Amino acid sequence: MLYSPAENRYDSMPYRRCGRSGLRLPAVSLGLWHNFGSVDVYDNCRAMARTAFDLGITHFDLANNYGPEPGSAEVTFGRILKQDLMPFRDELIISSKAGYLMWPGPYGEWGSRKNLIASCDQSLKRMGLEYVDIFYHHRPDPDTPVEESMLALDQLVRSGKALYVGISNYGPEAAKEAIAILRELKTPFVLHQIRYNMFDRTHERQGSFKLLEEQGVGGIVFSPLAQGLLTDRYLAGIPADSRASRNGFLKADSITEEVLAKIRNLNGVAKSRGQSLAEMAIAWLLNRPGVTSALIGASRPQQIRDVVAGLKNLEFSAEELGKIEMILG
């Protein structure tokens, strides 16, 4: 059956400008890091992408090694584009990245010109696209000059393979250097993607968001729910099907009684606002200076609907913010 997106898809989603650029992103973007690989059920992947677009989520975030298997998330998304979304290509922001291990040998990771340009070419082929809207360097390379990596991003724009560029996981000093190089080259640099949530405020303490505000660059944050900790999922123990039970990025032994006490107290604040903890955690992020969009993951369409529903209440009173700071310590 031919897909026809919801006619009201732009009615309620807030769109926020990336720094001082002309590009706007939805307040919530969909990341395909998990649950879109070759091991996942395609019909569910397709349903999540369609649900996201129906709700006004126009930004789909990928990377060359997302899967598993590495590259398979881009293959999956390419199938979804071909079946459903390609007629709406001009309404979409599609991003990809390179820098983590993708293929064997000395050119399959990090930040050389060889790796970044080859990676972009491979990503375009997997998705069946002529260009991506944003291409990122996924992580800084300690052995390659930042200038080489940024010149490669600039070349991708000038060759028509990307409209904008970004960086991800850079500390403030490396980010400052990258910004300066790209500005001199007049490369359209719009986003820095970093891990940030109520439980991980490292980049806030380091001054990353202050730098982005000063330089007019957008910030997009991943792991906004701390791999599921900032939900009510763990209040009654560790579910058998949870990320913590699989001992992946979220370890079961990290869910201490101290952490659970914070989750319970935050959940109480969320209930007083008429929100779930997850909805409040996203709203809190979107109120932080320098944050353009929150990058969420999902394993089923309803999770996307729930997060977007929480965008109806983004305002916080000074008292609520004070309570949250006290709980977080």
User: 134 and 162 in contact (C-beta within 8 Å)?
Assistant: yes
Distance between the two ends of the chain, CA-based, in angstroms? Answer: 52
Give domain 15-233+276-316's CATH number out of 3.30.750.80, 3.20.20.100, 3.40.50.1820, 2.60.40.10: 3.20.20.100
Q: Which residues contact 311 (CB under 8 A, 6 or more apart)?
A: 12, 13, 14, 27, 28, 282, 283, 286
Residue 30 sits at the vertex; the CA angle it makes with 267 and 71, to the nearest 5 degrees, is 130
Report how far residue 199's alpha carbon sits from residue 232's, in angstroms, rounded to the nearest whole number: 15
Report how far residue 81's alpha carbon sits from residue 130's, in angstroms, rounded to the nearest whole number: 13
pLDDT in tens, 2-54: 899 999 999 999 999 999 999 999 999 999 999 999 999 999 999 999 999 99
Give the pLDDT confidence score for residue 286 in this predicted structure: 97
Report how far residue 131's alpha carbon sits from residue 133's, in angstroms, rounded to the nearest whole number: 7
Q: Which residues contact 318 (CB under 8 A, 6 or more apart)?
A: none
User: 156 and 135 in contact (C-beta within 8 Å)?
Assistant: yes
257-272 helix and 318-328 helix, angle to the nearest 10 degrees: 170
DSSP-derived letter for residue 197 is: B
Among candidate residues 224, 220, 225, 244, the one with its CA nearest the CA of residue 234: 244
Domain ranges of the chain: 15-233+276-316
pLDDT in tens, 188-247: 999 999 999 999 999 999 999 999 999 999 999 999 999 889 998 878 655 555 454 445
Predicted confidence band at 323 (pLDDT cuts at 50, 70, 90)? very high
Q: What are phi and psi of 128, to 5 degrees?
A: 70, 35
pLDDT in tens, 123-181: 999 999 999 999 999 999 999 999 999 999 999 999 999 999 999 999 999 999 999 99
Sign of CA dihedral 237, 243, 248, 250: negative
Among candidate residues 218, 207, 206, the one with its CA nearest the CA of residue 166: 218
Report how far residue 221's alpha carbon sits from residue 20's, in angstroms, rounded to the nearest whole number: 18
Sign of CA dihedral 275, 284, 224, 108: positive
pLDDT in tens, 77-116: 999 999 999 999 999 999 999 999 999 999 999 999 999 9
User: 65 and 38 in contact (C-beta within 8 Å)?
Assistant: no
